[in-house]
């Protein structure tokens, strides 16, 4: 049976892609951010995942307002990105795992999460930046992937509690899979930031700090908030912490943080990173 | 807690905004393709007309004014692709929306980390 080796949650700010391309890891602006990742690399080398199941949010690359799924699961043989209108670098295609994708889709619908399945799906920076951060270096990716997209473009968005439950259901789906795979669950986005409106530039260090403290052992602390309340606390794009809640949900009841990093600002954003593992009660 | 419509300085992109901004957002979504960006740059009027922008949306595009684009139904993720054509980054957009210089806006972000 497949086994979840842990979860990684990370910001996915587009500017990171350019910083990687320009090799700015030691630049004073970027160093406190990039210095967070080597411990995550060492952890990944130790747990050696075969597959990454990645919760992310599309920012208007694959999905338009003509059809906007709340939850969409990729079921493609491979995933490609595009320049998104800003000249973002394109990466080598990331391999999918269609058999696992369909297993997840069947289990989710069986648990009344009526997801949209996507045999063709462009993935944007919310998918590719974490891939480049977690598995640096050009060339072959060491993992296959199952992308799961959560709508944060158009309200109503799914509630924090619902996203956590989605993660729990994905965790059960992975653990009921009949191949002996090691699976890492990834959640991308956040933490607090707001790009639009007179409130642009909003960051809430106190809330982010508490959110990261609570997430491993008391993830349901954040699920008592509504989407509107979380946006007031974390900004219109801070709501991406829904991806963190989904990834954490896949770990089961008890988890512990084995690494974390937090830095303000990268671009307009409070950048966060956590590595979590399940533990026995 | 305040409801979704009264977070200060914030417009949540809900059904009403999605209806109002459909043409504008559809045009901005088209900018995912480089060929469309070039076509917009060649003849902005014709490109806006083809997507059926209303007068408010056309004027907001003409003025490159982010708050007006949001008021006209624009969604930040699609508008970001229009900003890409203009070569503006998110600090430029933040500075414009808050009426600050870019340097002051960036300094405020740094201060949020202290």
Q: Is B35 on the interface with A (CB under 8 A)?
A: no
- Can the peptide bond before residue A156 be classed as cis, meaning omega within 30 degrees of 0? yes
Q: Is B10 on the interface with A (CB under 8 A)?
A: yes
Please report residues of A whose CB lies closer than 8 A to that of B25: 64-65
Measured between alpha carbons, how far is A127 from A142 in angstroms, rounded to an integer? Answer: 15
Mean pLDDT of A146-171: 98
Check if A12 is active-site.
no
Check if A193 is active-site.
yes
Report if residue B39 sits inside a domain.
yes
Q: Is B87 on the interface with A (CB under 8 A)?
A: no
Per-residue pLDDT, B5: 54
Q: Is B15 exposed, middle or buried (0-12, 13-18, 19+ CB in 10 A)?
A: exposed
Q: What is the CATH number of the domain that holds B49?
A: 1.10.700.10
The pLDDT-based confidence of A188 (bands split at 50, 70, 90) is very high
- The domain of B55 spans 15-87
Which numeric CATH code is attached to A3-278? Answer: 3.40.830.10
The token duo for A116 is 């949209």
Q: Is A224 on the interface with B (CB under 8 A)?
A: no
pLDDT at A49 over 50: yes
Identify the active-site residue in A41, A125, A155, A263: A125
ipTM attached to this prediction: 0.95
Percent of chain B with pLDDT over 90: 95
Do the Cβ atoms of B81 and A85 come within 8 Å?
A: yes
Measured between alpha carbons, how far is A272 from A261 in angstroms, rounded to an integer? Answer: 6
Q: Is A18 on the interface with B (CB under 8 A)?
A: no
**What is chain B's percent helix, strand, coil content, to nearest 5?**
65, 0, 35
pLDDT at B1 over 90: no
Do the Cβ atoms of A197 and B97 come within 8 Å?
A: yes
The pLDDT-based confidence of A281 (bands split at 50, 70, 90) is low
For chain B, the residue count is 114
Per-residue pLDDT, B3: 43
Q: Give which of A188, A185, A122, A181 is closest to A150, Cα–Cα.
A: A188
Helical ranges in chain A per DSSP H = 15-21, 31-34, 38-47, 98-110, 125-134, 160-175, 205-214, 220-223, 227-234, 241-249
Least confident range from A62-71, A131-140, A192-201: namely A131-140
Q: Give which of A55, A247, A12, A82 is closest to A151, Cα–Cα.
A: A55
pLDDT at A109 over 90: yes
Please report residues of A whose CB lies closer than 8 A to that of B97: 196-198, 200
Residue from A32, A60, A152, A272 whose CB has the most chain B CBs within 10 Å, to mutate: A60
How many separate domains does chain B show? Answer: 1
Per-residue pLDDT, A202: 98
pLDDT at B4 over 60: no
Identify the active-site residue in A12, A103, A193, A263: A193
């Amino acid at each position: 049976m497949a086994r979840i080796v842990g979860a990684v949650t990370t910001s996915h700010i587009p500017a990171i892609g350019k910083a990687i391309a320009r090799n700015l890891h030691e630049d004073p602006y970027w160093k406190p951010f990039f210095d967070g990742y080597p411990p995550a690399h060492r952890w990944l080398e130790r747990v050696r995942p075969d597959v990454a199941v990645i919760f992310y949010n599309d920012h208007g690359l694959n999905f338009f307002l003509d059809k906007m799924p709340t939850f969409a699961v990729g079921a493609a043989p491979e995933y490609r990105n595009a320049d998104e209108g800003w000249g973002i670098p394109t990466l080598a295609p990331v391999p999918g795992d269609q058999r696992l994708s369909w297993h997840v889709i069947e289990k989710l619908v069986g648990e009344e999460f009526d997801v949209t399945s996507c045999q063709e799906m462009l993935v944007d920076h919310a998918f590719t930046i974490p891939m480049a951060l977690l598995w640096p270096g050009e060339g072959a990716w060491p993992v296959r992937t199952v992308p799961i997209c959560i709508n944060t473009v158009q309200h109503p968005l799914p509630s924090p509690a619902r996203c956590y439950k989605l993660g729990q259901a994905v965790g059960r789906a992975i653990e009921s899979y009949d191949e002996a795979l090691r699976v890492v669950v990834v959640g991308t986005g956040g933490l607090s930031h707001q790009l639009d409106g007179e409130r642009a530039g909003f960051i809430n260090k106190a809330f982010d700090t508490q959110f990261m403290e609570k997430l491993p052992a008391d993830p349901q602390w954040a699920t008592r908030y509504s989407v509107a309340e979380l946006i007031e606390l974390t900004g219109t794009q801070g709501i991406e912490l829904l991806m963190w809640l989904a990834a954490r949900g896949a770990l089961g009841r008890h988890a512990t943080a084995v690494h974390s990093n937090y830095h303000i600002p990268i671009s307009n954003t409070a950048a966060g990173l956590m590595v979590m593992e399940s533990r026995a009660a | 807690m305040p409801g979704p419509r009264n977070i200060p300085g914030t417009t949540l992109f809900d059904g009403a905004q999605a209806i109002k901004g459909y043409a504008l957002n559809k045009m901005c979504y088209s900018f995912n393709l480089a060929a469309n960006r070039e076509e917009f740059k060649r003849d902005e009027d014709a490109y806006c007309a083809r997507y059926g922008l209303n007068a408010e949306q056309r004027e907001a595009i003409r003025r490159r004014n982010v708050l007006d684009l949001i008021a006209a139904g624009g969604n930040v993720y699609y508008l970001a692709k229009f900003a890409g054509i203009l070569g503006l980054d998110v600090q430029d957009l933040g500075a414009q929306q808050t009426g600050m210089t870019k340097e002051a806006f960036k300094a405020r972000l740094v201060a949020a980390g202290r």
